[in-house]
Amino acid sequence: MGEPAFTTGTWQSDDGLTLHYRDYPAVAGEGREDRPALLCIPGLTRNARDFEPLAHAFAGEWRLVCVDLRGRGESEYAKDSATYAPLQYAADVAALFDQAGLGRVVAVGTSLGGIVTALLAAQDASRFAAVVLNDIGPDIEAAGLERIRDYVGQGRSFPTWVHAARAMQEANGDVYPDYVMADWLRMAKRTMALGGGGRIAFDYDMRIAEPFSAPPPAEPVDMWPVFGALGGRPVLSLRGERSDLLSAATQARMVAEIPGCTAVVVPGVGHVPTFEEPVAQAAVANLLAQVA
């Protein structure tokens, strides 16, 4: 099966960066023009390519707009690493709404992308027809956050894609215990890129790690009211069965406190489900059926 066709687009941030997105169109006769687009926002170290599995499943029938946040993929790197922060990412995506004339969307936020989605909803929830929160919630488990701190911004590079894939396997074997080499190669090619020196490296600005080294606020921010702004529309919470970032207790509280929220656990994977899993695809299809 070939890759779904897409075009590329750019938009401007309020501080002058040129940011990039992939646009998979709805196909005449398959999709309906009145359907909202799926706006896909990736996790901390990921990019627009992360949503290729969703595009395989839904492009044509639905339009997908998959963004590279600042400092990732084909988007420009920030001049000031302090702007690698959720509120700035939310401002960037809000600018995309305005510049691309998106109207209402179905947001698909993976990890950090889910936080960005919640922040946008707290500003104007009418942007969203429905929301997928992929392995993220108002409370983040300390163990998962520490694991992320350990690997983000390390700046490793590799001579071949096989070396890159083996490095992914070493770092993420517990997250995806059933993966074979073909899976790790596919993940490496979505996460890394061939650099100018002929080495393969992670496709993001290593300085995105710098805000993690700042001292935490004296009073932690209560994110429950922020995520609560998503209520009143279909909300799907996906959680990897082995996740160390989103606990079962937090997911259960989301269902209890966010009106319209349903929970699905994706078996056999940790943080994060990739949308290649049949359970994850079926859950998204069920959500979209409430929108169509």
Q: Is the pLDDT of residue 104 over 90?
A: yes
Q: What are 246-266's pLDDT values in tens digits?
A: 999 999 999 999 999 999 999
For residues 233-256, average pLDDT: 98
For residues 49-76, average pLDDT: 97
What region, left, alpha or beta, does residue 153 occupy, with left being phi > 0 and alpha being psi -120 to 50 degrees? left
What is the pLDDT at residue 28?
Answer: 66
Per-residue pLDDT band at 31 (split at 50, 70, 90): low
Q: What are 113-137's pLDDT values in tens digits?
A: 999 999 999 999 999 999 999 999 9
Specify the pTM.
0.96
Lowest average pLDDT, out of 10-19, 24-33, 91-100, 140-149, goes to 24-33
DSSP line for 211-269: GGGSPPPSS----HHHHHTTTTS-EEEEEETT-SSS-HHHHHHHHHHSTTEEEEEETT-
Q: What is the mean pLDDT of the chain?
A: 94
Q: What is the H or E stretch that residue 134 is in?
A: strand 128-134
For residues 189-199, average pLDDT: 93
Nearest-angstrom CA–CA distance, 38 and 55: 10
Structure token digits, residue 175: 């997250």
The full set of domain ranges for the chain reads 7-141+218-289
Per-residue pLDDT band at 221 (split at 50, 70, 90): confident
Cβ partners under 8 Å of residue 289, min gap 6? none
What is the pLDDT at residue 155?
Answer: 84
What is the pLDDT at residue 220?
Answer: 82
Q: Is the pLDDT of residue 214 over 80?
A: no
What is the pLDDT at residue 215?
Answer: 77
* Stronger pLDDT, 148 or 260, i.e. the higher one: 260
Nearest-angstrom CA–CA distance, 165 and 268: 20
Per-residue pLDDT band at 204 (split at 50, 70, 90): very high
Structure token digits, residue 279: 């359970």
Cβ partners under 8 Å of residue 129, min gap 6? 36, 104, 105, 106, 233, 234, 291
What is the pLDDT at residue 86?
Answer: 96
What is the pLDDT at residue 29?
Answer: 63
For residues 155-172, average pLDDT: 95
CATH number of 7-141+218-289: 3.40.50.1820, 3.40.30.10, 3.30.70.20, 3.30.420.40?
A: 3.40.50.1820
For residues 159-182, average pLDDT: 97
